[in-house]
Amino acid sequence: MDYAYFPGCSLESTGIEFHMSAKAVTKALGINLIEIPDWNCCGASSAHTRGHWISLALPARNMAIAEAAKLDVAIPCAACYARSKQVEVEVSQSAETRAKIEEIIGRPYKGESKARNLTDILYRDLGVDKIAAKVVRPLDGLNVLTYYGCLMTRPPELACDDVEDPVSLDEIMKALGANVLQWGFKTECCGGSLTACRPKVGLDMTQKILDAAIKAGADCIVTACPMCHSNLDMRQAQLAKHDHNYHMPVFFITEMIGLALGMKQKDLGVDRHFIATEEVMCKLEEYEQEQIQKMMNEGGEA
């Protein structure tokens, strides 16, 4: 399974764990990611506030480079995915748009190379059975909440999962052995860039999600968006100043897969989170010990 790979800007810095774990996990699962040479920023979350053509042109260049290599593009970041999918859909639906985009970027792009969300590739192209088959350290006993945010599921014409009740992260987490809890905030907005440019409003949105996660009794949140991860993980310290203390670990889906596949925390970037993940790791270990003990006891009785 070969894909062109577009990590996007966040995955080189604040979302570096997603980059590290995506590369490690895909390799282990037999998915070959070929990074687009000299890719550029897709423009999220600013270009679309400026104009239509600038918002399409930026991701179009990356897509055109991938199309020249006849590859679909695997995109871990939800925002990069949505921007890239937008230009793919618009170019493939309108000859006029295609002509204009090709004129702007100075490269051919027919919209044949598809923008694919990495989680969707894992869920649909590879399939959860193939992931489950490679699990050596099941996440049994771990209570997780899946958090999709906005851009994997909206708008509907770009969505890679159900708009109101997406399941791809849920199904992958179940395949890893985790206990997936239900809540009403799967697709609620975390505030996106508002935490950076209008903190009072943005932090309020982030806080609502964390409060709901605590109320649901989760051990951790699992996401597939670097913006959501950054807001939920990093901003907990800021919220603690205003309100009570927060301690809700937030993982990328690929980190979770990597852990279940027996990979080391530092190889996945798990040690780089703002909110320490020790408790989650301890819980997994304790559960494993309990199971071993149980098995030994049962063996003794028999």
Partner 1 sequence: MTLNERQQQNEALRSEFLRRSGVDVSKCYQCGKCSAGCPVGDHMDIPTNKIMRLVQMGLIDEAMQSSAIWLCASCVTCTTRCPKGVDVAHVMETLRQMAKDHNCVAEKNIDKFHTVWMNILHKMGRMYEPGLIVGRNMVTGNIFQDTSFGVPYLAHRKLKLMPYKSNNIDEIKRMIEKAEAMDREEGGAR
**Could you list the residues that contact partner 1 (CB under 8 A)?**
9-10, 12-14, 16, 38-41, 43, 45-54, 56-58, 61, 100, 103-106, 150, 154-156, 163, 187-189, 191-194, 196-201, 204-205, 208, 234, 237, 272-274
Q: Pick between residue 145 and residue 150 the one whose CB is nearest to partner 1.
A: 150
Q: What 8-state DSSP symbol labels residue 114?
A: P
* Beta strand extents in 97-227 (DSSP E only): 115-117, 143-147, 179-180, 220-223
Closest Cα to residue 11, out of 255, 195, 259, 261?
255
Report the distance separating Cα 153 and Cα 168, nearest Å.
11
Q: Pick between residue 65 and residue 122 the one whose CB is nearest to partner 1.
A: 65
Report the distance separating Cα 105 and Cα 108, nearest Å.
8
Q: Pick between residue 3 and residue 18 the one whose CB is nearest to partner 1.
A: 18
Shortest distance, position 127 Cβ to partner 1, whole Å: 27
Q: Pick between residue 60 and residue 172 the one whose CB is nearest to partner 1.
A: 60
Residues 34 and 26 sit within 8 Å (Cβ to Cβ):
no
Contacts of 295 (CB under 8 A, 6+ apart): none
Shortest distance, position 271 Cβ to partner 1, whole Å: 8
Q: Pick between residue 197 and residue 295 the one whose CB is nearest to partner 1.
A: 197
Report the distance separating Cα 209 and Cα 151, nearest Å.
16
Residues in the chain, overall count? 302
Q: Decide: helix, strand or coil at residue 269.
A: coil
Shortest distance, position 40 Cβ to partner 1, whole Å: 4
Shortest distance, position 198 Cβ to partner 1, whole Å: 6
Q: Pick between residue 271 and residue 285 the one whose CB is nearest to partner 1.
A: 271
Q: Decide: helix, strand or coil at residue 233.
A: helix
Shortest distance, position 66 Cβ to partner 1, whole Å: 15
Shortest distance, position 92 Cβ to partner 1, whole Å: 19
The two structure tokens encoding residue 235: 């901003």
Write the single-letter amino acid at 282: C
Shortest distance, position 169 Cβ to partner 1, whole Å: 18
Closest Cα to residue 88, out of 60, 121, 62, 119?
60
Shortest distance, position 187 Cβ to partner 1, whole Å: 8
How far is residue 22 from each of residues 2, 14, 33, 112, 209, measured CA to CA in Å?
Answer: 14, 15, 9, 24, 25
The two structure tokens encoding residue 37: 């040479």
The two structure tokens encoding residue 258: 């990597």
Q: Pick between residue 181 and residue 234 the one whose CB is nearest to partner 1.
A: 234
Q: Pick between residue 61 and residue 116 the one whose CB is nearest to partner 1.
A: 61
Report the distance separating Cα 122 and Cα 111, nearest Å.
22
